[in-house]
Amino acid sequence: MVIYFPKDIFGEKFYGLPETKALSELFHRAQRGMKIIGPTYDKLKPEILSLPKKEGLDRIISLLSILKTLSETRDCYYLASTGYSHAYNVKDNHKIDEVFKYVMNNFSKEISLQDVASITNLSPQSFCRFFKNRTKKSFVQFLNEVRIGHACKRLTEEDWSIAEIAYSCGFKNLSNFNRFFKEIVGKTPKEYKNELRLKEA
C-alpha cells in the first residue's frame, strides 16, 4: 500500500514550528529509506490499512498519527548508508509530483506513456528511465498499483459488481484486472470482497 501526499500539505510554515521539528527530521532521515520492524510495525500496519476507509479530517488526523509514530520510533533500520544522497534536484521532484497528480486525476481513463512523458518534457523512453530511477518501479507498475488501490477502496465502500469496479478504475478487460489484482493484493477481487463481507457479518 502506498500513501502519496505533498510534503507541504500542511502549509509552508508548518515544519518550522518547534512542535514539528521531529517530522522535519523524519523526512530528512527517510531519504535513505527506512524499514519499520518490531512493535512499531505491528502498531502501524492496521493504522495504514485503515487509512483509505477514512475521510475528511479523520484521514488527516490518522496521517499525522502515523507520521508521529514514525518520527519517534527506533524500531527501524536504514536501507542506505549515511553517505547516500539523491541524484535528483528540485526540478526532478516537481516533475514526479506532476506525474503523480496527473495519474491520481486520470487513473480511470486510458493513460499512455506519451501522455505522462509530455508532462515531464521527456521522450517516452527517457521518461521510463527517469521514473524507474526515481521510484524504483516502472510507470506501468505504479499505474496498476494506483488503480488496484482505488479498486480495493470501491470494493469496500460500493455495492458494484467486480466488472463495474474494474472498468471504473481504468482496466479495459476483466481478465487483466483480476490478474493484476491478485499480483498486488495476493488474492482475487472475489476473495477480497468475500473476506470483507465475513468481517462485516
Segment 134-137 long-range contacts (CB within 8 Å, at least 24 positions apart):
134/88, 134/92, 134/96, 135/96
Question: pLDDT at position 91, please?
Answer: 56
Question: Which segments in the chain show pLDDT lower than 50?
Answer: 82-90
Question: pLDDT at position 34, please?
Answer: 84
Question: pLDDT at position 169, please?
Answer: 94
In single-letter form, the type of residue at position 127 comes to F
Are 192 and 152 in contact by the 8 Å Cβ rule? The answer is yes
Are 98 and 120 in contact by the 8 Å Cβ rule? The answer is yes
The position carrying cell 522535519 is 24
Question: pLDDT at position 201, please?
Answer: 54
Question: pLDDT at position 88, please?
Answer: 46
What's the distance, CA 31 to chain centroid?
16
| Grid coordinates given for 161 | 459488481
Question: pLDDT at position 114, please?
Answer: 94
Question: pLDDT at position 137, please?
Answer: 87
Question: pLDDT at position 72, please?
Answer: 93
Question: pLDDT at position 85, please?
Answer: 46
Q: Using CA atoms, how far apart are residues 44 and 90, in angstroms rounded to an integer?
A: 30
Question: pLDDT at position 41, please?
Answer: 93
The position carrying cell 477480497 is 192
